[in-house]
Structure 1
Amino acid sequence: MSKVDEFEELRPLLFSIAYRILGSVTEAEDAVQETWLRFDGSSARPTSAKAYLSTVVTRISIDVLRSARVRREAYVGPWFPEPLLSDPYQDPERSVELADSVSMAALLLLERLSPLERAVFLMREVFAFEYDEVAAAVGRSEAACRQLLVRARRHMEAGRPRFAADREERQELATRFFDALKDGDVGGLQELLAADVQLVGDGGGKAPQLAKPVAGASNVSRLLGTVFPWLIRVDVTCEQHEINGQPGAIFRDRDGKVLVILALDVLDGQIQTIRSVINPDKLGHLGPVADAWAIDREVKQARRGG
């Protein structure tokens, strides 16, 4: 098998590792591309391309994450990962675990870990690498990796996200939610929300966003039931999609450009958390991005006109 073929076969796995470490589609793609350049430029042919490439992409991702964390500390408002529509790495035997590990809730929980803890946890717990492979990837001894994993597990277990196990049940609930959203059915929305539901938005200071998170089924349903019907009036459309392995939707302007995504956490037949990403910097990989400020002005003008 040629180097190109070996790499392309492993590309989905490499992207999945990089994305979970970085929480960024664009940075993960860059890390995978840099991994290819190093592989292509090496005269040696590793015994295991999977082990070698996983090590390279992990080390590159750790370095990128260390610099990214400084930027995130200065981020305006809540920071969410870049939305991922589908994870290219498929392992049918572990599909549920892989989907949960790429959810926004899980990726935000991973932010509590150091870059090394994050890499060790993902390689061992999510991708099931052996300890010697994990140690080679992060440049630490196996004993050190075991200690890193213990600390990472401790942090993760405290807030590990739980989701509805039945995918059809989640999707059915999401369909009811988005139908009520488009209709401005406040009562219908409130029935689907947990009492302590939270609505949190990521605009990064670059688009209209919530001043602060909104909590409680009554408050969230009133806000959503007021805002979204006006978006529909100015020709914004809603497309249901899985977002990071969980139910969600992409909203587009009349020209088909991406305006905002909503991602839902569903548990026990209710929506526990609603996350919106409207920062244009995090939507570009999904296609052309709408001018959220212009749509906001159009909505305000429509409301004044009745």
Structure 2
Amino acid sequence: MNRTTEFQELRPLLFSIAYRILGSVAEAEDAVQETWLRFDGSPTEVRSPKAFLSAAVTRISIDVLRSARVRRETYVGPWFPEPLLADPYEDPERSAELADSVSMAALLLLERLSPLERAVFVLREVFDFGFPDIASAVGRSETACRQLAVRARRHMAAGRPRFDADRRERDALASRFFEALHDGDMAGLQDLLAADVSLVGDGGGKAPQLARAVAGARNVARLLAAVFPALDRVEVTCERHEVNGQPGAVFRDRDGRVLQTLSLDILDGRVQAVRVVLNPDKLAHLGPVADAWTISERLKRTRGTAETD
């Protein structure tokens, strides 16, 4: 088997590792491409392509994450991972198995770990790598990797996200949520929200966003019921999608450009969190991006017209 074929067969794994370490589709794609260049340019025989490629993509991702941490310290407002509608290389059944590990909640929890802890946790807990391979990948001893794994598990344990195990019930609740959202049904929305639900938006200073998180079922329902029906009046459409393995949607302007994504955390028959990504830099991999500021102005004009009627 030639190197190109070997690489393509392992590409789903490489992207999955890189995205979970980096939380960025674009950076994960770049890491995978750099891994290919190292693999293709290696002058020596590679006995285990999986071990070589996994180690390479892990090391590259750790280096990228270290530099990304500096940028995130000056990020405007809440930071969310880039939304992933579906792993572009992974088969649907495998993606479903790993859905919880790629959720927004899980990736945000991984942000609490150091780059090395994050890499070790992803390789061990998500992909079940043995410690010898992990040690090779991160350039530490097996003993050190075991210690890193213990620390990572300890950090993750308290805040580990949980989701409804029955996907049919989860998806049925999500359908009711989006129906109520479309209708502007505040009471219907409030009935689906947990008492301590939060609504958070990530605009990165490059799109209109909430000044702060909105908390509580009544407050979140009121805001959702006011804003989202108004989007329909300015010809913004809602397409249901799984976003990071959880129920969600992509909103597009009248020209089909991506305005934002929305994802839901659902547990115990209620929506626990609503996360909206509006930062155009984080949406570009989904296609052409809408001008959120222009749509915001249209919404204001529409609201003003409605009030004078």
Please indicate the TM-score interval, normalised by the length of the shorter structure.
Answer: over 0.9
- Segments of 5+ residues of structure 2 without an aligned counterpart are none
Q: Displacement, 1:90?
A: 4.5
Give runs of aligned pairs for residues 54-73 of structure 1, distance below 5 A. 54-73=54-73
Structure 1 residue 241 and structure 2 residue 241: aligned? Answer: yes
Structure 1 residue 224 and structure 2 residue 224: aligned? Answer: yes
- Counterpart Cα distance in 1 of 2:239 and 2:91: 24
**TM-score (normalizing by structure 1):** 0.98
* Counterpart in the other structure of 1:89: 90
Deviations along 1:184-216, whole A, 9 cap, x unmatched? 000110010000000000000000000000000
What secondary structure is seen at the aligned counterpart in 2 of 1:129? Answer: coil
- Counterpart Cα distance in 1 of 2:242 and 2:9: 24
Structure 1 residue 303 and structure 2 residue 296: aligned? Answer: no
Deviations along 1:78-99, whole A, 9 cap, x unmatched? 0000000112335958943x11
- Counterpart Cα distance in 2 of 1:167 and 1:48: 37
- Counterpart Cα distance in 1 of 2:91 and 2:105: 20
**TM-score (normalizing by structure 2):** 0.97
Q: Displacement, 1:112?
A: 0.4
* Counterpart in the other structure of 2:273: 273
* Counterpart in the other structure of 1:257: 257
* Counterpart in the other structure of 1:21: 21
- Counterpart Cα distance in 2 of 1:119 and 1:66: 12
Residue type matched to 2:47 in 1?
A: T
What secondary structure is seen at the aligned counterpart in 1 of 2:43? Answer: coil
- Counterpart Cα distance in 2 of 1:201 and 1:269: 23
- Counterpart Cα distance in 2 of 1:93 and 1:27: 22
Flag as ranges the 4+ runs of structure 1 deviating above 6 A. none
Structure 1 residues 181 and 255, CA, compared in 2 at 3 Å: closer, same or farther?
same
- Counterpart Cα distance in 1 of 2:273 and 2:44: 49
Deviations along 1:247-271, whole A, 9 cap, x unmatched? 0000000000000100100000100
- Counterpart Cα distance in 2 of 1:24 and 1:93: 20
What secondary structure is seen at the aligned counterpart in 2 of 1:158? Answer: helix
Give runs of aligned pairs for residues 134-173 of structure 1, distance below 5 A. 134-173=134-173
Report the aligned-residue RMSD. 1.1
- Counterpart Cα distance in 2 of 1:139 and 1:43: 21
Structure 1 residues 228 and 92, CA, compared in 2 at 3 Å: closer, same or farther?
closer
What secondary structure is seen at the aligned counterpart in 2 of 1:200? Answer: strand
* Counterpart in the other structure of 2:105: 105
Q: Displacement, 1:137?
A: 0.1
* Maintained 8 Å contact 2:102/2:244: yes
- Counterpart Cα distance in 1 of 2:189 and 2:266: 14
Structure 1 residue 8 and structure 2 residue 8: aligned? Answer: yes
Give runs of aligned pairs for residues 34-45 of structure 1, distance below 5 A. 34-45=34-45
Give runs of aligned pairs for residues 284-299 of structure 1, distance below 5 A. 284-299=284-299
* Counterpart in the other structure of 2:121: 121
Q: Displacement, 1:175?
A: 1.1
- Counterpart Cα distance in 2 of 1:150 and 1:91: 31
- Counterpart Cα distance in 2 of 1:280 and 1:287: 10
* Maintained 8 Å contact 2:96/2:245: no
Residue type matched to 1:89 in 2?
A: E
Which is further off, 82-91 or 281-290?
A: 82-91
- Counterpart Cα distance in 2 of 1:37 and 1:140: 24
Structure 1 residues 236 and 92, CA, compared in 2 at 3 Å: closer, same or farther?
closer
Which is further off, 170-179 or 20-29?
A: 170-179
Deviations along 1:274-293, whole A, 9 cap, x unmatched? 00000000000000000000
Deviations along 1:102-135, whole A, 9 cap, x unmatched? 0000000000000000000000110011110000
* Counterpart in the other structure of 1:188: 188
What secondary structure is seen at the aligned counterpart in 2 of 1:266? Answer: strand
Paired-residue identity, %: 73
Structure 1 residues 295 and 57, CA, compared in 2 at 3 Å: closer, same or farther?
same
- Counterpart Cα distance in 1 of 2:255 and 2:170: 30
What secondary structure is seen at the aligned counterpart in 2 of 1:55? Answer: helix
- Counterpart Cα distance in 2 of 1:223 and 1:56: 46
- Counterpart Cα distance in 1 of 2:186 and 2:94: 40
* Counterpart in the other structure of 1:203: 203
Q: Displacement, 1:176?
A: 0.9
How many residue pairs are counted as aligned between the two chains? 305
